[in-house]
Amino acid sequence: MTHAVRIHRTGGPEVLQWEFVDVGKPGPGEVRLRQTACGLNYIDIYMRAGIYPVAALPAILGMEAAGVVEELGASVTELARGDRVAYPMVAGGYAQERIIDAQRLVKIPDSIDDKTAATMMLKGLTAHYLLFRTYPVKAGDTILVYAASGGVGLMLCQWAKHLGATVIGCVGSKEKAKVAMANGCDHPVLYREENIAERVRELTHGEGVPVVYDGMGQQTFAASLDCLRPFGVLVTYGNITGQVEPFSPKILAPKGSLYVTRPTLATHVATRELLAEGAKRLIDVVSKGIVRNNINQSYALKDTAQAHRDIEARKTTGSTVLIP
């Protein structure tokens, strides 16, 4: 028996319960993992609150972690006992031990510690696909990033800067502006006080940006469209302020033949090839210190409810680690 954080119903942070669970034996293609560090992501809030579905209740939430392979199921050939591994986007992460499909795991080199590995996978692979696949950022681009001091936000800022972009970053406070600026954001915009589109036009000499990375959703959708230059791409990739309302595509024509896309990391790690390609690039930039994942909060895994309260209250910056 081992411990995990489970929910028996969706709701507020109080539904997260520290409980004994029976992990069982790994089946064919699976391994048993002893987890050493777990990540916290906004998707965990959506699942806990019932905004995104969970497979079945009771459910163990949590979508990324790192650990050590303890036991191999039949036909697992690419991993060995004692390997250090991490994964993104596999529900059941808030646990001391778990069974997991070996194909979803990425080996972690010695240059990356467990806490970093655990908290970089979901956020870092998201930053990767946004910057390389959804809209390939080029040197000389000026881009707009929301929640620039957040978990995904700080990794986006640093990586985009490394690619030669100028980064405009929306942040909720002056303190968060400092954090973002220390991580590659050139122009913080205090979006609770300033008009986002006006400020972006001012910073781009009226032109607008080629891409907006908007994890906020409903409340910022209209402003985000108004920040784009002709042929620009609005990447709406989260819904912290609610789901974007249905809209008519015809609004995109007069604003400059714009594009809107709603991607998810799930598609971008759906095959072993996609996962491996992103992980290789991510491990490279993290190992070289080009992208740091700023673990600014740490909690015991049994205190996950408090971590949920803090991220929802906008108290966190960078990444949050949960220690099993």
Q: In the complex, which residues of this chain contact ligand NAP (CB under 6 A)?
A: 41-43, 122-123, 126, 147, 149-153, 171-172, 176, 215-216, 237-238, 240-241, 263-265, 311-312, 314, 316
Between 23 and 94, name the residue whose CB sits nearer to ligand NAP: 94
DSSP assignment of 64-110, as one string?
A: EEEEEEEEE-TT--S--TT-EEEEES-S--SBSEEEEEGGG-EE--T
CB burial string 173-187: b at 16+ within 10 A, e below = eeebbebbbebbbbb
Beta bridge partners of 18: 5
In the complex, minimum distance from the CB of residue 242 to ligand NAP, in angstroms, rounded to a whole number: 9
Between 260 and 265, name the residue whose CB sits nearer to ligand NAP: 265
In the complex, minimum distance from the CB of residue 261 to ligand NAP, in angstroms, rounded to a whole number: 10
Planar angle of CA 285, 128, 104, nearest 5 degrees: 95
Between 264 and 298, name the residue whose CB sits nearer to ligand NAP: 264
Between 17 and 264, name the residue whose CB sits nearer to ligand NAP: 264
- The two tokens of residue 285 are 């930039």
Between 92 and 172, name the residue whose CB sits nearer to ligand NAP: 172
Between 70 and 312, name the residue whose CB sits nearer to ligand NAP: 312
In the complex, minimum distance from the CB of residue 291 to ligand NAP, in angstroms, rounded to a whole number: 14
Beta bridge partners of 159: none
CB atoms within 10 A of CB 124: 28
In the complex, minimum distance from the CB of residue 247 to ligand NAP, in angstroms, rounded to a whole number: 19
Provide the residue type at 88 as one letter.
P
In the complex, minimum distance from the CB of residue 182 to ligand NAP, in angstroms, rounded to a whole number: 14
Between 137 and 147, name the residue whose CB sits nearer to ligand NAP: 147
In the complex, minimum distance from the CB of residue 167 to ligand NAP, in angstroms, rounded to a whole number: 14
Between 72 and 189, name the residue whose CB sits nearer to ligand NAP: 189
* Cβ atoms of residues 23 and 32 within 8 Å: yes
In the complex, minimum distance from the CB of residue 55 to ligand NAP, in angstroms, rounded to a whole number: 18
Beta-carbon contacts of residue 210 (< 8 Å; ≥ 6 apart): 135, 141, 142, 143, 228, 229, 231, 232, 233
- The two tokens of residue 247 are 């809209």
Q: Side-chain half-sphere of 76: how many Cα atoms within 13 Å?
A: 24
DSSP assignment of 251-262, as one string?
A: GGTTTTS-EEE-
Between 149 and 166, name the residue whose CB sits nearer to ligand NAP: 149
Beta bridge partners of 127: none
In the complex, minimum distance from the CB of residue 216 to ligand NAP, in angstroms, rounded to a whole number: 6
Q: How far apart are CA 242 and CA 249, in angstroms?
A: 20
Q: How far apart are CA 84 and CA 200, in angstroms?
A: 43
In the complex, minimum distance from the CB of residue 126 to ligand NAP, in angstroms, rounded to a whole number: 4
Beta-carbon contacts of residue 178 (< 8 Å; ≥ 6 apart): none
Question: Which class for 65: exposed (0-12), middle (13-18), buried (19 or more C-beta within 10 A)?
Answer: buried
